[in-house]
Amino acid sequence: MRVIVLGSGVIGVSTAYFLAKAGHEVTVVDRQHGPALETSYANAGEVSPGYSAPWAAPGLMAKAVKWMLMKHSPLVIRPKLDPAMWSWCLKLLANANERSYEINKGRMVRLAEYSRDCLRALRDETGIRYDERAKGTLQVFRTQKQVDAAATDMAVLDRFKVPYSLLDVEGCAAVEPALRLVKEKIVGGLLLPGDETGDCFRFTNALAAMATELGVEFRYNTGIRKLESDGRRVTGVVTDAGTLTADSYVVAMGSYSPMLVKPFGLDLPVYPVKGYSLTLPIVDPAGAPESTVMDETHKIAVTRLGDRIRVGGTAELTGFDLTLRPDRRGPLDHVVSDLFPTGGDLSKAEFWTGLRPNTPDGTPIVGATPVRNLFLNTGHGTLGWTMAAGSGRVVADVVGGRQTEIDMDGLTVARYGRSASAASSRPTVGGVARPAA
């Protein structure tokens, strides 16, 4: 069938690739001049199924207050008169309990583990290269309290048979030799050996080239305005270049997805959480990380990508504001300097920001909707790179009417109990004018 994919980030391109592999005629539409130029451009570089966990955890409120009072705060909230922001925050807090955390983490790990396997299979089949490494993630703890709190996560990892090791300081230094220089700053760590790393931007561009060879048409520099409907199904997508039509439509527009589908009665609780990153050249390979080191205190990841170090993290609630705030660079500078003081040249760092499409329960929204030819692949938060291959594969399977290889329970929009009743009374739906990135 003919399928239009809206969005050319890592999620949209992965979806298009797997749809094309399944034999469909695919068109990808995006306002940017190429793939992966927004949220996928300079993320933390982690493919971390073992580290997949919702932000909504027990004790979240107390942690949030503590974070905001820290000198190098991982969290900043800039209040706005935005009902969507406050609604999202309240739903986040409603999920911050032990039962919800275990359910949500289980859903996330299920999809993330599958996605990592899909990525490996794709790499083996195509030989795609993107500064990838398969040396795991080391979550480092600066306090014993953090070590004790890891027990909850380890219980979920046990349930899904995800390998891990709880390490002391010497164990951390054995995995990441550069940490020997700063051993007094950590008390232990959790090693997730099945995790990987890689440059999401390079991957997405390479995969887009492969998708093009399979016949996928990419329409760049094309603004997406609205979806049209006959009351039962989507009949077209209105763009700056005219109306495009297909048999099925996949919305993979990250934080902007809710705007497009809300008039269908789909009230997606996806809200942008702004993140920042630094990319700096390695000047001392022995002083740089071997893979990813996640600083649990500051919620910042430090990752080796070829001859570069990527430092990614922090969370800022400020709506769709993409202002590159110099003060938010401080936490990134601090962590990389504190843990890897000799590894890279901060004076040559590229500073970047992007909007992560977060759901309040942490789980993305993938698969079918009550509108029979409208599908979703959005809400991946900080784990879009981790979940991209698996999400693209399952959505392609759902669109094509095939049985998915994993259980989709809890992954679709159905978990919110929404209906598409509004679509029956609105001949034209959607409408989104995205600000320039």
**Following DSSP, what letter does each residue of 367-395 receive, concatenated?**
EE-SSTTEEEEE--GGGHHHHHHHHHHHH
pLDDT reading at 437 higher than 70? no
Query: Would the annotation count 8 as a binding residue?
Result: yes
Instruction: List, as own/partner pairs, every contact residues 240-245 make where C-beta atoms lie below 8 angstroms and the sequence separation is at least 24, other chains included.
Output: 244/4, 244/27, 244/29, 244/219, 245/2, 245/4
Percent of the chain with pLDDT over 70: 95
User: What average pLDDT does the segment 87-105 reach?
Assistant: 93
The candidate with the shortest Cα–Cα distance to 308, out of 283, 328, 329, 332, is 283
Q: Dump pLDDT digits (tens) for 221-234.
A: 999 999 999 988 99
Determine the average pLDDT of the residues in 40-62.
89
Q: Is there a binding annotation on residue 10?
A: yes
Q: Is the pLDDT of residue 218 over 90?
A: yes
Tell me if 15 is assigned to a ligand binding site.
Answer: yes
pLDDT at 420 over 60: no
State yes or no: pLDDT of 110 exceeds 50: yes
Question: Is 248 labelled as part of a ligand binding site?
Answer: no
Per-residue pLDDT, 425: 34
Percent of the chain with pLDDT over 90: 82
Q: Give the whole-angstrom CA distance, residue 44 versus residue 304.
A: 10
- Residue 432: pLDDT over 60: no
For the chain, the average pLDDT equals: 92
13 labeled part of a ligand binding site: yes
Consult the annotation and say whether 100 binds a ligand. Answer: no
Confidence of residue 413 (pLDDT cuts 50, 70, 90): very high
| Residue 17 counted as an annotated binding residue | yes
CB 283 within 8 A of CB 346: no
User: Is 114 assigned to a binding site?
Assistant: no
**Was 4 annotated as part of a binding site?**
yes
pTM: 0.92
Ligand-binding site membership of 343 (annotated)? no
Could you give the dihedral angle defined by the CA atoms of residues 383, 385, 388 and 390, in that order, rounded to the nearest 10 degrees? -70
Is the confidence at residue 426, as pLDDT, over 90? Answer: no
pLDDT in tens, 317-375: 999 999 999 999 999 999 999 999 999 999 999 999 999 999 999 999 999 999 999 99
**Closest residue by Cα to residue 73 from 267, 276, 210:** 276
273 labelled binding-site residue: no
pLDDT at 424 over 90: no
